[in-house]
Amino acid sequence: MLDIDTIAAISTPLGEGAIGIVRLSGPDAFNIIDKVFKSPSGKKLSEVNSHTIHYGHIVDPKTKETIEEVMVSVMKAPKTFTREDVVEINCHGGILSVNRVLQLVITNGARLAEPGEFTKRAFLNGRIDLSQAEAVMDLIRAKTDRAADVALEQLDGRLSRLIKRLRQEILEVLAQVEVNIDYPEYDDVEEMTNNMFKQKALYVQKEIEKLLRTAQQGKILREGLKTVIIGRPNVGKSSLLNTFVQENKAIVTDIPGTTRDVIEEYVNVRGVPLKLVDTAGIRETEDIVERIGVERSRKVLQEADLILLLLNYNDPLTDEDRRLFDTIHGMDAIIVINKTDLEKRIDLDEVKKLAGNRKIIHLSVREEKGIDELEETISNMYMTGEIENDDFTYISNARHVALLNQALQSINDALSALENDMPVDLVQIDMTKAWELLGEIIGESVHDELINQLFSQFCLGK
Ligand code: GDP
Ligand code: ZN
């Protein structure tokens, strides 16, 4: 712990909000703040009570220049996020003055923090475990209230507790088997051991499978359900997108997705976060400028979770419409027939045939009819009863999904070894492997390299 230095960073998003916070963490945090902070009463912040806020000015000790009017929070170790001494300087000015305060604390002994370094310290000092650290990262990125809730729950340690329980179960059976082998009390130790392993493996298998089933929903909550609106020009794609955006609370996003050919909007439809994409018409074309749009559109289609295929009630089906049905083959899609306020010219029987078992919705964007039904259909497709249940543990993190899959594989290996009357030490190896893999989720058997890589994904100042 002796070589730990004091780190500093701006911990509010640059350019957002009226206040900027410069955060300091480490053994020198109070020394450094005392060098640059002047309170009207002349008090030293190293001497005040922990968890108090103080008004004053940041003054450059060399030039005596006043840089910023501030409120400073003082938090003494260990009851802080990093478990170190923490100082937060709340500045009022814009980016410029926040940066000057940061510069000043750096010239007075702090080091600029690496991305995620505050959270990394919280982890290294035992304040949070790895899945909780990742939750902090998810929270920063969360785009919907739901996603933020999931991250908060994870931060609260719900996933950790579940993983720890599973590991404990595996550990107990491993220990019991050791005892059985060393001190056989019964005649048929082998059968008994195998039975114990089998019961436990089946139980852990069930629990992991349950968790993995939540992954799809976790992904939707985290990243939004990527919904692509396709259809011939003029069927009403942009109108539908606009209606969605107007009717539902738009989700603020900082993702630069808006381009000339593909428009993206985040909206919250009955709790399902939709990432709506309007494409510039998918069709063969020789026009080079349009082609870029078309290729991008194809790619967008491939990555879609859900397709809304729009048709025009007022037009007979065209070959282009029919081709669109081919394009969405094998994908989740809803067929939407728009402009039902106009005269019917579409062949509904053919639409039904093309749609197969996909849901067909009649819509008039102009008269705002059918929007409710469309929203309900989407919500029914992606919100299961489980997701509304607050007691539910989700996983939404790709690293967790991968580790759970590997752990499940080891459990399955153990089960098939048992099935094939393999020697018991093979089963032990598989069960131990599952135990280790689960440990990686909460950071109990991870390598430094992984830790560094994970924390480097954080934003600066977290
Ligand atoms: P896009 O090319 O598929 O994006 O189609 P737009 O959304 O730009 O709409 C094309 C035209 O159809 C516009 O003039 C819209 O006002 C009109 N439109 C959209 N929805 C409806 C509808 O439900 N009924 C009628 N009558 N017109 C509509
Ligand atoms: Zn359009």
Residue 93, annotated ligand binder?
Answer: no
- Whether residue 381 is contained in a domain is answered as yes
Residues 282 and 367 in one domain: yes
- CA 274–ligand 1 middle distance (angstroms): 21
Residues of the chain with pLDDT under 70: 1-3, 12-19, 93-95, 137-156, 181-189, 216-219, 221-222, 247-264, 278-297, 383-397, 444-462
Residues 234 and 366 in one domain: yes
Residue type, 373: E
Residues 371, 419: Cα–Cα separation, whole Å = 54
Give the pLDDT confidence score for residue 393 in this predicted structure: 59
- Start-end of H helices in 7-76: 29-36
**Ligand 1 and 20: CB distance under 6 A:** no
- Whether residue 120 is contained in a domain is answered as no
Find the domain containing 296 and state its range. Answer: 224-388
Residues 438, 430: Cα–Cα separation, whole Å = 12
Which residues lie near ion ligand 2 (Cβ < 5 Å)?
Answer: 237-238
Stated pTM of the model:
0.50
What ligand 1 atom has the least distance to the C-alpha of 235?
Answer: 3
Residue type, 317: L
Residues 23 and 88 in one domain: yes
**Token pair recorded at residue 115:** 């991305």
Residues 69, 98: Cα–Cα separation, whole Å = 11
Prediction ipTM score: 0.98
- What CATH number is attached to the domain comprising 106? 3.30.1360.120
Residue 279, annotated ligand binder?
Answer: yes
Residues 243 and 350 in one domain: yes
The SS3 assignment for 91 reads strand
Give, for ligand 1, the residue of 310, 336, 365, 368 to mutate: max count of ligand atoms closer than 8 Å to Cβ. 365
Q: Which of 204, 183, 122 is nearest to 155 (CA)?
A: 122
Q: Which of 388, 413, 441 is the last residue of a domain?
A: 388
- Whether residue 274 is contained in a domain is answered as yes
> Could you tell me if 457 and 137 are in contact, meaning their C-beta atoms sit under 8 angstroms apart?
yes
End-to-end CA distance of the chain: 21
- CA 348–ligand 2 middle distance (angstroms): 24
Apex CA 44: angle with CA 41 and CA 48, to 5°? 100
Give, for ligand 1, the residue of 229, 234, 308 to mutate: max count of ligand atoms closer than 8 Å to Cβ. 234
Q: Which H or E element spans position 200? A: helix 189-223
The total number of structural domains that make up the chain: 3
Residues 234 and 375 in one domain: yes
Residues 369 and 230 in one domain: yes
Residues 296 and 241 in one domain: yes
Give the pLDDT confidence score for residue 258 in this predicted structure: 36
- Start-end of H helices in 125-157: 130-141, 145-155
- What CATH number is attached to the domain comprising 241? 3.40.50.300
Residue 416, annotated ligand binder?
Answer: no
What ligand 1 atom has the least distance to the C-alpha of 314?
Answer: 26
**Ligand 1 and 365: CB distance under 6 A:** yes
- Whether residue 133 is contained in a domain is answered as no
Q: Which of 113, 129, 152 is the last residue of a domain?
A: 113
- CA 278–ligand 1 middle distance (angstroms): 13
- CA 223–ligand 2 middle distance (angstroms): 24
- What CATH number is attached to the domain comprising 192? 1.20.120.430
pLDDT digits (tens, 9 = 90+) for 413-440: 999 999 998 888 889 899 989 998 898 8
Residue type, 238: S
> Could you tell me if 276 and 267 are in contact, meaning their C-beta atoms sit under 8 angstroms apart?
yes
- Whether residue 1 is contained in a domain is answered as no
> Could you tell me if 277 and 288 are in contact, meaning their C-beta atoms sit under 8 angstroms apart?
no
What is the DSSP code (8-state) at residue 250? B
pLDDT digits (tens, 9 = 90+) for 109-151: 999 887 778 888 887 787 777 777 777 766 666 655 666 666 6
CA distances from 131 to 115, 123, 147, 316, 426 (A): 17, 10, 15, 54, 30
Residues 438, 407: Cα–Cα separation, whole Å = 6
- Whether residue 93 is contained in a domain is answered as yes
Residues 167, 440: Cα–Cα separation, whole Å = 11
Residues 206 and 258 in one domain: no
- Whether residue 121 is contained in a domain is answered as no
- Whether residue 119 is contained in a domain is answered as no
Residues 195 and 263 in one domain: no
Apex CA 390: angle with CA 389 and CA 396, to 5°? 90
Residues 238 and 368 in one domain: yes
**Token pair recorded at residue 414:** 């153990």
Sign of dihedral through CA atoms 337, 339, 340, 342? negative
**Ligand 1 and 399: CB distance under 6 A:** no
Query: Which residues, listed in sequence order, are joined to residue 369 by a DSSP beta bridge?
Result: 364
Residues 381 and 245 in one domain: yes
Residues 198 and 336 in one domain: no
What is the DSSP code (8-state) at residue 364? B
> Could you tell me if 269 and 232 are in contact, meaning their C-beta atoms sit under 8 angstroms apart?
no
Residues 23, 111: Cα–Cα separation, whole Å = 11
Q: Which of 333, 360, 388 is the last residue of a domain?
A: 388
Residue 23, annotated ligand binder?
Answer: yes
Residue type, 455: F
> Could you tell me if 278 and 238 are in contact, meaning their C-beta atoms sit under 8 angstroms apart?
yes
Q: Ligand 1: which residue has its CA nearest to atom 6?
A: 236
Residues 47, 337: Cα–Cα separation, whole Å = 71
Give the pLDDT confidence score for residue 123 in this predicted structure: 79
Query: Which residues, listed in sequence order, are joined to residue 268 by a DSSP beta bridge?
Result: 273
